[in-house]
């Protein structure tokens, strides 16, 4: 679908979507607490809707398909494994069958679960026979996905002997673990943390009212838009300053792009720093181990501005909705911009380059973040076409409607 630019200045107010990361954790906790209380401002993202529907219909389910929802796959693997005297076949999309889950399956089986990989060892689909899990002590590799650890932490209070969880290797996406623990504590669960060890004794969740924050990951695209615009005044409603979300570091990172964040009662306002000047010789270097979901946004922002960069800590990107390192390389070469990747964990662009009109349609690879990160590049070039606009429903269903203040899509009903 062709994306045409209306204007390079962006003046708008945006009601950001709710955090799906927070929403998904709260849904699992509500199910574990056996509560029927509503959750205020629950995410409308496709991933959250999938998880909520599954949990609401679990009593009548055997075959459960999560589609592309990676968080749902990991969290449900743990949750279903403790549904005693029940059997489930947990599956997903073709891409989901390529995303590893061996570490989580082995950890759960060690504490009494009965989970078998049905096709390829270490990958979905999974045959899960519900058991009364005993818990106890576990060591787990924390260098692959924080969702494995969050899945175990969330069920820990319900286990017969609680859980002592020891993390091995470098921890990736640690803010998501902090979010999990913060939410567990909000619902009155005691979590003892000592360096890389977590201890949760057997106890009960006390479910109560909660208002889900707006999504900082969704805000990242507006930071990119602000940076690439000729001028801007963008009000982002619903963001929380002292947020549980790791991506809140955006406000600090984008000072390097001349974007200022001004807090007010409804959220924050993005404006240009009029005194800011880019140093085109600078190489922006950031370790994204804790915030890998910002990678596509930051890469596209740098490319749009013409800024050199080196991003590290990207090892988790190869097992996301697509291999995001390869996807970025494949699509940016269409602009005659060549990224260099190293060790499946680094991306860099440190030579002189110029952003050209793409010579082909931009593919999204069924990855919502590819569509939303690439679209703002139309502020810098003429002629941009994205192959799948619907993919944004995974996390930000109103994205195209919201950006229609400065772009238009051919024959698209907003």
Count of residues in the chain? 414
> Based on C-alpha coordinates, what's the Rg of the chain?
21
* Residue among 47, 215, 247, 293 flagged as catalytic: 293
pLDDT in tens, 116-171: 999 999 999 999 999 999 999 999 998 888 999 999 999 999 999 999 999 998 88
Answer yes or no: same fold for 2-17+214-409 and 20-200: yes
Q: Is 38 a catalytic residue?
A: no
The residue behind tokens 């989970």 is: 115
Rounded CA gap, 124 and 100, in Å? 8
Query: Phi/psi at 172 (nearest 5 deg)?
Result: -100, 150
> Domain coordinates of the chain in residue numbers?
2-17+214-409, 20-200
Beta bridge mates, 200: 163
Mean pLDDT throughout 194-198?
A: 93
Cβ atoms 372, 299 nearer than 8 A: no
Per-chain mean pLDDT for the chain: 94
The pLDDT value recorded for residue 4 is 86
Per CATH, domain 2-17+214-409 is 3.40.50.2300: no
Report CA 30 to chain centroid distance, whole Å.
Answer: 21
Contacts with 59 (C-beta within 8 Å, 6 or more apart), sequence order: none
The DSSP code for 113 is: -
pLDDT in tens, 1-20: 788 899 999 999 999 999 99
Helix residue ranges per DSSP H, 57-121: 70-81, 102-110
CA distances from 366 to 215, 219, 390 (A): 20, 20, 9
The pLDDT value recorded for residue 106 is 97
Beta bridge mates, 310: 285, 348
- CATH architecture of the domain formed by 20-200: Alpha-beta prism (3.65)
Q: Does the structure show a pLDDT above 80 at 410?
A: no
Rounded CA gap, 313 and 50, in Å? 30
């Amino acid at each position: 679908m062709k994306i045409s630019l209306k204007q390079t200045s962006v003046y708008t107010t945006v009601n950001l979507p709710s955090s799906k990361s927070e929403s998904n954790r709260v849904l699992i906790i509500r199910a574990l607490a056996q509560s029927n209380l509503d959750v205020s401002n629950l995410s409308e993202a496709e991933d959250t809707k999938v998880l909520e529907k599954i949990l609401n219909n679990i009593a009548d389910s055997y075959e459960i398909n999560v589609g592309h929802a990676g968080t749902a796959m990991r969290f449900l693997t743990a949750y279903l494994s403790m549904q005693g005297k029940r059997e489930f076949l947990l599956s997903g999309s073709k891409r989901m069958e390529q995303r590893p889950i061996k570490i989580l399956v082995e950890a759960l089986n060690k504490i009494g679960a009965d989970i078998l990989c049905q096709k390829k060892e270490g990958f979905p689909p999974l045959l899960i026979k519900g058991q009364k899990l005993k818990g106890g002590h576990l060591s787990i590799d924390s260098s692959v996905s924080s969702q494995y650890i969050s899945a175990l932490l969330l069920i820990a209070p319900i286990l017969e002997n609680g859980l002592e969880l020891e993390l091995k290797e470098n921890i990736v996406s640690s803010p998501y673990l902090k979010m999990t623990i913060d939410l567990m504590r909000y619902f009155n669960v005691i979590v003892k943390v000592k360096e890389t060890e977590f201890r949760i004794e057997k106890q009960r969740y006390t479910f109560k009212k909660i208002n889900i924050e707006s999504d900082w990951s969704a805000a990242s695209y507006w930071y990119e838009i602000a940076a690439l615009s000729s001028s801007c005044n963008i009000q982002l409603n619903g963001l929380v300053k002292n947020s549980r979300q790791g991506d809140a570091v955006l406000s600090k990172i984008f000072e390097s792009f001349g974007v200022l964040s001004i807090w007010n009662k409804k959220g924050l306002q993005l404006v240009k720093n009029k005194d800011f000047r880019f140093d085109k010789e600078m190489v922006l270097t950031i370790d994204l181990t804790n915030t890998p979901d910002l990678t596509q946004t930051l890469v596209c922002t740098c490319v749009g501005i013409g800024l050199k960069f080196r991003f590290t800590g990207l090892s988790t990107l190869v097992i996301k909705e697509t291999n995001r390192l390869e996807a970025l390389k494949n699509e940016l070469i269409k602009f005659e911009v060549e990224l260099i990747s190293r060790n499946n964990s680094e991306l860099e662009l440190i030579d002189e380059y110029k952003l050209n009109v793409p010579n082909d349609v931009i593919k999204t690879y069924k990855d919502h973040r590819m569509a939303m990160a690439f679209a703002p590049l139309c502020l810098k070039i003429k002629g941009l076409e994205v192959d799948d606009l619907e993919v944004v429903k995974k996390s930000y269903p109103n994205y195209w409607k919201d950006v229609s203040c400065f772009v238009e899509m051919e024959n698209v009903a907003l």
